[in-house]
Homo-oligomer: A and B are copies of this chain.
Amino acid sequence: MFSQTAEYALRAMACLALHADERVSSGLLAETTQVPQDYLAKVLQLLAKASLIEGRRGVGGGYQIARSPSEVRLLEVIEAVEPLKRIDSCPLGLKSHGANLCPLHRKMDEAAQAVIEIFDDSTLADVLTTGASTPLCDNGGGGRASLTVDRS
């Protein structure tokens, strides 16, 4: 239901949130998130444009999350790459409908609202703290070792 771009953006932000205090190279990011480097570069560009991450080039360069993971809502991440739109007026432009949606478009808007609320109510920190498993990791830790992708 979500685009690959949204999925990749969330993976990248989860990885950077797990390493909130350090810069992560694009190579490590690509490996950990399993996103092709070219594709990842475009996603990172959008995330930087939305001021969610900061990038630095050159030796020791890489990407770092711009705010605390507890201050980044999942909705912000998704909207940085793919706006989730409510339906605020008749998509057919029917004059008598206007902002008074017909029941069909009200139902579609209800679904959009439900999704927006779910992601607006959660921060990156909320989806990292867990007893069982951590995003992208094959063990429960948040350190660099835990970012190793199991290729077995």
- A residues apposed to B, CB below 8 Å: 1-2, 7, 10-11, 14, 33-34, 74, 84-85, 91-97, 100-108, 110-112, 114-115, 118-119, 122, 126-130, 132-139, 149-150, 152
B133 and A100 contact, CB distance less than 8 A: yes
A119 and B104 contact, CB distance less than 8 A: no
A-B contacts, 26 of them at CB < 8 A, read: A1-B84, A1-B112, A2-B108, A2-B111, A7-B108, A10-B108, A92-B136, A94-B136, A94-B137, A94-B138, A94-B149, A94-B150, A95-B138, A95-B150, A95-B152, A96-B139, A100-B132, A102-B133, A102-B136, A103-B126, A103-B127, A103-B128, A107-B119, A111-B115, A114-B115, A114-B118
Majority SS at the chain A contact face: loop
Smallest CB separation, A127 vs chain B (Å): 4
A1, A10, A128 — most chain B CB neighbours (10 Å):
A1
Q: Give which listed residue, B2, B91, B129, B152, contacts A103 with CB less than 8 A.
A: B129
Q: Which residues of B contact A34 (CB under 8 A)?
A: 92-93
Closest B residue to A109 by CB, please name it. B1
